[in-house]
Amino acid sequence: MTKKNRTNFLKLTITIIILLAIVLLISLAIYVAVSQERRINQTSNQRVVVFVLDAGDWRIVNPLLKEGKLKNIAYLINNGASGESQSVYPLYTSPNMASLFSGKPPSKHGITSHFEVDDGETINALFKNMQVKPIWELLKGTNVTMDLVGWQEFDKAPKIDGTVVTGLYIIKKVAEHNNYFSESNHNFNYFQYIPNFILTSKNNGDILSDYKFLDNSKDIMIKNNLSLKFDTLLTNITVPYTLGRLKFNEKRKKGVIDAKKYSKFIDGIETIAHSDISAKFLFEYDMLSKEISLDLYKRHKSNILFIYLTGTDLYGHNYYFDGWQIEDKNNEQRQVYKYYEVIDGYIGEFLSVADENTTFFVTSDHGIQNLTIAKYLYAVPHPPAHSEKGIFIATGKGIKKNFKIVNESIMDLTPTLLYMYDQPIADDFDGKILLNIFDEKHMENKTIKRIPTYEEKSQPMQEKSEPVQEVSIEYTDDAYDEE
C-alpha cells in the first residue's frame, strides 16, 4: 500500500465510522422518542392487580390464617386494608361481576342471572347485555390501560385497548389439553371451532403459545391431596340438581316441554361434570388463567389487570360441608382449604415479581353457601347457594396498613380504581370511592373529579372538582336474614 493509498484508506475508514455513528445516533433518537411515547401512552406507572376469587369467603380464609397458612394473603392483610365485601342481589356471579365492573346495581345494569337463551342456545352474555358502561368502556381514550383474564361470563371478548382473555378461551384450551375434542366426545366438539379472535382480544399482548405446563396439573393436585374428580355427597346432590334446573329453564324459555337436545353450553357443563377429571378441569382452568395473567403482568405492563379465579366457588360447593350444614363424615372438607392454599401460592407468584408501584386487590363476587341443603333444594323461590358477604383486601402504596374496613360494597371497586387514576366519578354510580383505605399523605394532592354520568343518553359532560375529604360512613347492619 502506498502512502497515498493508506491516506485514502484512513479517510474512508473515518467516513464509515462517522456514518455509523450518525446511524447509531439516529437509531438512539428514534428509540428514545418511541419509549417516551410509550411512557406518554401510559400516563401513570401506578399498577393495579385485582384478583377476584369466586365465592371467596372469610369463613374459609380465617381458620387457615389462624393455622399460619395463606402466607401471601396474610401479608396483604397485614400490610393493607381488609374486610367484608357486600354483594348485590340476586347473589349469582354475573349480577355481581356486572356491579363490580360498573359501580351500579342490577336494577341499572340489567344483569340478573347467569344465562340467557338466545336463538335456542343458552349462553353467557354479560358483556353483550349490560345496559351501562363497564370500566373498560369508561377507560377508553384515557391512557389507562387494562387487561382482563378468565371471565366465563362473556360469550365474546370486548375489543378494548388491552388484552381480554375470556373464560371460554380458557375452557377451550383446557378441553384441548384433556382430549375432550375427540370423536367420542360430541358435546364438546363445537368449542374447537370457535375462533380465538372472538374469545380473546390481544391488541397489546400475546396469549401464551405454549400450554405444556398444564401437564403438571395432575402431579400438583396429587401432591396437595386433591382428588381429580368432584365426587362427594355434596357433588352427588348438587350437580344433578343444578343441571336439572339449567335444562328446565332452557326448556321453559324455549317453550318446548319435551326437548331432548339441550344447548351446547349445557351439554358442555354436563360433559365436564360427568367426566373423571371434573376437579382437574377446574384446577387447570385457574392454573391457566394465572399463567396468562402472570405473563401479561410481566410483559404487557398494563395499568390494571383483572384475574378471575373460579375454583374457589366449585371447591366450596363440593367440599365446604360447614356451609351446607352437613357433617363431613369422610374428612373431605380439607380439600377446599387445600385449594385456597394453592390460590395463595398463585398470589405469591405475583407478589414475588411485583414492585412497590403495584397495588393488589383481592375480592370476591359473593361468599360461599350458607344455607341448609334442604333449603337449597326445596325452598321457593330457589335461593342462590351463596352468602352476601365476600372478601375484600387492598394493599399498596398510599393504602393504610393493618386497617379494617366495615362497609365495602362490590360496587365500590370501579369508583375507587377511577379515583386512583384521576378519572372522573359519575354521580349516577351507586358505589363509592373507598377513601378511608388511603392514608393522609396519599390524599394531600388528590382531587375528586365528578361528572353527572358516563352514559350516552345524558347532556354533555361537565367536570367539576372538589378537594378530597375523608368521609365517615356509618355502618348499617343488614336487613338480610341469614339463617
Residue in the structure block whose three cell numbers are 401464551: 208
Q: Is 250 in the site for Zn ion (CB under 5 A)?
A: no
Residues 208-237 that bind Zn ion (CB under 5 A): none
Q: Which is nearer to Zn ion, 93 or 187 (CB)?
A: 93
Judged by beta carbon, residue 332 or residue 365, the one nearer Zn ion is 365
State in angstroms the smallest separation of the CB of 365 from Zn ion. Answer: 4
Shortest reach from residue 94's CB to Zn ion, in Å: 8
**Residue 444: DSSP 8-state:** T
Q: How many whole angstroms separate alpha carbon 385 and alpha carbon 372?
A: 9
Provide the phi-psi class of 207: left if phi over 0, else alpha when psi is between -120 and 50, else beta: beta
How far, in Å, CA of 194 to CA of 200, rounded? 11
| Beta bridge partner(s), residue 358 | 47
Which positions from 78 through 97 interact with Zn ion, judged by CB under 5 A?
Answer: 93
| Nearer to Zn ion (CB atom), residue 93 or residue 289 | 93
Instruction: State which residue, 365 or 412, has the beta carbon closest to Zn ion.
Output: 365
String of contacts with Zn ion for each residue 15-34, x by CB under 5 A: --------------------
For residue 181, the one-letter residue type is F
Whole-angstrom distance, CA of residue 202 vs CA of residue 207: 7
In the complex, residue closest to Zn ion by CB = 93
State the nearest-atom distance from the C-beta of 366 to Zn ion, in Å. Answer: 6
d(CA 350, CA 360): 9
Q: Mask: binding to Zn ion, 440-459, rule CB under 5 A, as x and -?
A: --------------------
Single-letter amino acid code for the residue at 257? I
Alpha helix segments (H runs only) across 110-185 = 126-129, 135-138, 167-177
Window 318-357: contact mask with Zn ion (x via CB under 5 A): ----------------------------------------
CA dist 378 and 61 (Å) reads: 29
Q: How many helices (H) and strands (E) does the chain have?
A: 20, 14
349 Cβ neighbours under 8 A, 6+ residues apart = 290, 294
Query: Which positions from 297 through 316 interact with Zn ion, judged by CB under 5 A?
Result: 313
Asked if 286 interacts with Zn ion (CB under 5 A), we say no
Query: Given candidates 365, 388, 408, 412, which one binds Zn ion under the rule CB under 5 A?
Result: 365
Residue 54 touches Zn ion, criterion: CB under 5 A: yes
Residue with Cβ nearer Zn ion (217 or 387): 387
Binding positions for Zn ion, rule: CB under 5 A: 54, 93, 313, 365
